[in-house]
Each structure stands twice: as C-alpha cells, then as structure tokens.
Chains A and B, each alone.
Chain A
Amino acid sequence: MRYMDKNLREIHNAIISNSVTPLELVKEAIELAKNDDNNAFEYICEKEALEKVRKLDPSKKNNLLYGIPVVIKDNISTKDIPTTASSDLLKDYVPVFDSEVVTRLENEGAIIIGKTTMDELAMGGTGTSGHLGTTYNPWDKTKTRIIGGSSSGSAAAISAGVVPIAIGSDTGDSIRKPASYASLVGFKPTWGRISRFGLFPFAPSFDHVGYFTRNVYDSAYLLNILAGRDDKDSSSSFEPIEDYTKHLEDKLEGTRIAVINGVIDNVSDKEILNSFNKSIEYLRQNGAIVDYVDIDLILLEAIQPTYFIISSSESTSNNANLDGIKFGSRIEGKTLEEVMVNTRTNGFSRRIKDRFIIGSYSMLEENRNELFIRAQKCRRLIVNAFNNVFEKYDAIYCPAAPTIAPKINLKEDTVFNKVNISEHYMAFANMGGFPSITLPLGFENSMPFGGNLSSKPFQESKLFNIANYIEKGTGLSDKVAKRD
C-alpha cells in the first residue's frame, strides 16, 4: 500500500486504524524523495525526520497532521537543517531557529522530510534558476517542460506523490502558477494571515507564505493550523481566525463572481477556455452569479512592470546582508570590502545581479520619482481597480495561466518577457494582499492547467467555499503524476 498519493484524511484514517505508523509514512516519503528524478530536493532530512518521528507525542494522534510527511521550500528557515534559497551564496547556511510555519506544523505532529529547490532567492517564475539547475514537471515524462516557480521543488514533490503537503512562498504568483502547471491546489492567504517569521525576504510588501495541497479541503484545513497572529512578525494580523473548513459546503446562492475581460480575452487556448467555461456553467447551476467585468486594460498591462520595479527595488535592500561576513559562503580578499565583493560576485547568478541593478537604478535620487515612486502609485491604482470589483463581487475568477507548462527555455525569464496580461495578472493579489487560490481545471495533451480565484482580504472561507464547488464540478482532486 502506498500512502503518499492519498489525501490528509485518508492518511489520518490509516494511522488511526493502525494500518500504518508515522514511522512507515516517513520512511515511504524519504524513499520516494531519494528516488526523485525531478530535481525537487535541496536536502532530504532523513536523519532528522527519523529522529523526530520516533519522538512523536502519541497524545497528538488525533491531529490530522500527526505523522504526516511535509516538504518546505528552501527559503524558509529550519533549525539545524541547511537552508540555501537555492543560491550558491547560502549553500552552507544552517539556520539556528525555526520559521513560525515550521513550528506550527511540527507542533501538530507533521514531519519535515525535505527542503525543496526553487528559483534563486525566489526571484523567478520558471524553476530553472536555482543553483542545482532546472526542476522538472513530473507530468511531463520527456523532461522538457517547466514546473514553474519560484516554488518549483515543492510543486514537483507533491505532484509526484512524494508528500501530501508542500510549503512554499508567493511574491508574484510563485505558488499559484506552478499549481496550474501541476494539477495542484496552490494557496496564498491574505497578507499578514500566515506569519512570515523565518521566511527569507524578497519583497516584503508582496511576500506571502502559502502552500500546495492536492484538494481544497486539505488547503482549508491547513490554514486552520497556519493562520493567526505571531508576535515575531510585525506584519502578522490580529484579525480573528476561523475554522476554514466550516463553510466549504455552504450553498452558492447569491455568491457573485467576476471574470475579468482583459484577462480572459488574452487566453486563446481552446481547451483552457472550454474547461473554464464549463466550470462557470457549474457555478451558475449551483446558484452563483457570474459576470464578465472590465478593468482598464492599461492597468492590467501595468501589473508586470509595476511588480517588477517594486519587487526589484525591495529585494536590493533586503539582500544587502548577504555579504559572507556573518553568514554565507565567504570568498576571501585582501580587505573587508574585497571579501564582500568577491562573495557577492561569486555567490549570485547573473539574473540576481540584474534584478539588484534594476532595483538600485529605480531608487537613485534622480530616477526615484519616475520609476520606484511611479510604480508605487500605479500599484495603488491597480489595487483600487480590483477593490472596485470586490465592492460588487465576492471573488474574481480567471484561468491561472494562458497555457499548459511551457517548454524549458533557459534564455527566457531574464528581465522582461513580452507582456501577456493573462500570464502575469495574478500579481495583483500580492499588490493588494488578497487571498488567492489556484486549482485544477483540466488537461491538454496530458499536461494540466488551472483556474484562479481571489477574494477580498480575510475572506478565505468564502474563497474555499467557491473553490470547493469548482473542484466538485471538475472532479479534479487528489491528482498525482503517474510514475513510469
């Protein structure tokens, strides 16, 4: 019997009925991780996981996460376990504390079995830029398609059936885009809903901790565990938390959903449009009101450059501490300055240096008003436009991407690709801190694609409610890429 393909409740029931033990589950997951052929892992925590599972507190047996193997994106701190952010500069870094999300998972009895590959320092959307090379999409047996990024290894590990839960981070769409390419449920909450203590900052005004599951119930349940105020993160919210599974089955009568014309008009793939339209029909059959609404096209087109300028600028200052002195792979030199220059020159890939230079240039005194400040003003106009939609609608629903996972092309994704609104629009949810979830919609040539729902801040219960209906309509839950 193989358990890692199953969902949380199925695995939990197997533990409760003594069909399997947490130790057996962890051994299964570690064996699968060792045989991973998608380049999903930075580090497999075999010794650490086996030690922790043997010390599990049996009084926690009724927790749904008790004994459940989990993987963590490698930009999230894990005490005494290497955490590199897939950057050469941090290849030897071992945190001395756990992130809050890791603490909460372990308090429930979850067992971390691995740290996953990612785009270097989370700056990328393809899963091709980490220091260990390209992470592959398990749905593509030819190993020619990306999984997406930056949470590439977490997406690959869960879609290959190594674990039932994978933690990631999302600054532009770094969980929600890979979820679309891998038939996963990928969720990021309202900004401040899950603590970011222990997350390596990329662009803190956009950064979120989130996760992948293989069905909507597991996603809602996981938020019950991870949501809530954390005094160690000053941006953590005091808003009360709820039981996010409670309203999954609520009727949709009166629920208002908006499809954004400028996004859907830029999707030409007939299979994606067909499946998307079917899901809308299902929502309407269940009482939802679905309308097509306009947002000024120039604002939709502005999402990518606005995101890029702000995130590059924020990343420049947030990564200034990566100099090899207090931590990081130091390259020696004759002076302190030379040590820092040598370390940063050798430690960062070209893509990272490009981003830092763009960020630094945008914040120069003579450029600030026309680049950084203008991007921040544009952010407000973009968020205002989406908030106007949310005044009349409970959620915004669109395809998560205009295509299935693209072919690997290492020359792409340097600075600016050609702008397709439907490719980059999901960053609006990072700009406004809106909760957002991607879930499977269908397959084309055996490759998955997904839809994305977003709602007002702190309306996660409503979001999961609508997502649950879409999942019922498609019948696409608990999908695992088949192994040869």
Chain B
Amino acid sequence: MKKVDKETLKLAAQHLMFEMSDEEYESLLADFDSIISKMKILGEIEGIDDVEPMTFPFDVTNSYLREDIAGEPLTREDALKNAKDIHNGMIGLPRVVK
C-alpha cells in the first residue's frame, strides 16, 4: 500500500482539484492511521480473498432496452440555465490561447 504522508494527501487533493490548508492535511493524516488499521483488520477476516467483490446489493438480470424512439432533449436554454457567463448560447471560460 502506498505510504500515507502529507505529500500523498496533497497529490490526491491536486487530482481532485481542490486545496486544503496545512492544518487540514495534518488532521486528516491523523485520521488515516485509524482508517488503515481498521482496513488491515478486514484483511484478516477468514475467507475474504475467496469471494468476489460486491459492487451492487444483489444480482439483477435485466434485458430491458427502451424503444428506439427519439425523445425531447434538454433545450439549450435549460441546459445553460445554471451556468455563469453565457455568450451567444455558449458558456464563457478563461481564454486558452492568449
């Protein structure tokens, strides 16, 4: 398992696209000890590696496909309703090419 230190947490935050203060990283680092130790206990559960990971509550076999009928998509007006900085029906963003 990758060692948890402040740099690891900073890298994760960078990937997640937000920033935290040094104090927040220190506090989270302390919580990680508890998380890692609990997860190590899970590794000791008998038979844990003999089962498949469970990704949903129960198996459902479903052959449903909707009819191939065109539906009404969101209107442009609705799609842009919650965006800021609208120009000519498009969302404005900082210029990429200066």
Contact = CB atoms under 8 A, between A and B. Distances in A.
B10 to A, nearest CB: 9
Interface in A400-415: 414-415
Nearest to A302: B42
Interface in B68-96: 74, 78-79, 81-85, 91, 93-94, 96
A251 B43 CA distance: 45
A344 interface: yes
Given A94-B81, A380-B51, A370 B1 contact: yes
Contacts of A191: 56-58
Interface string A375-388: 11111110110000
A309 interface: yes
Contact of A377 (B38, B54, B84): B54
Contact of B55 (A205, A332, A333, A338): A205
Contacts of A434: 57
Contact of B16 (A338, A356, A374, A377): A356
Contact of B43 (A92, A334, A374): A374
Given A191-B57, A328-B82, A433-B57, A380 B94 contact: no
B64 A367 contact: no
Given A344-B18, A353-B24, A356-B16, A364 B2 contact: yes
- Main secondary structure on chain B at its contact with chain A? loop
Nearest to A360: B12
Interface residues of B, number: 54
B41 A326 contact: no
Contacts of B12: 357, 360-361, 364
Given A333-B94, A361-B4, A238 B64 contact: yes
Interface centre among B1, B51, B54 (most CB of A within 10 A): B54
Interface residues of A, number: 75
A145 interface: no
B31 to A, nearest CB: 4
B64 to A, nearest CB: 7
A334 B62 CA distance: 47
A1 interface: no
B57 A341 contact: no
A415 B34 contact: yes
B19 A371 contact: no
A453 to B, nearest CB: 18
Interface of A: 92-94, 96, 191-192, 205, 231, 235, 237-238, 298-299, 301-302, 304-306, 308-309, 316, 323-328, 330, 332-341, 344-345, 348, 350, 353-354, 356-358, 360-361, 364, 366-367, 370-371, 373-381, 383-384, 414-416, 419, 430-434, 457
7 contacts: A302-B41, A325-B83, A345-B19, A357-B9, A378-B45, A379-B53, A433-B58
CB-CB nearest 5 A-B residue pairs: A433-B57, A376-B53, A327-B82, A380-B54, A415-B31
Given A370-B43, A371-B39, 17 more contacts: A205-B57, A305-B35, A305-B38, A305-B42, A306-B42, A324-B84, A344-B16, A345-B20, A350-B24, A361-B9, A370-B39, A374-B42, A375-B39, A380-B51, A380-B52, A414-B27, A434-B57
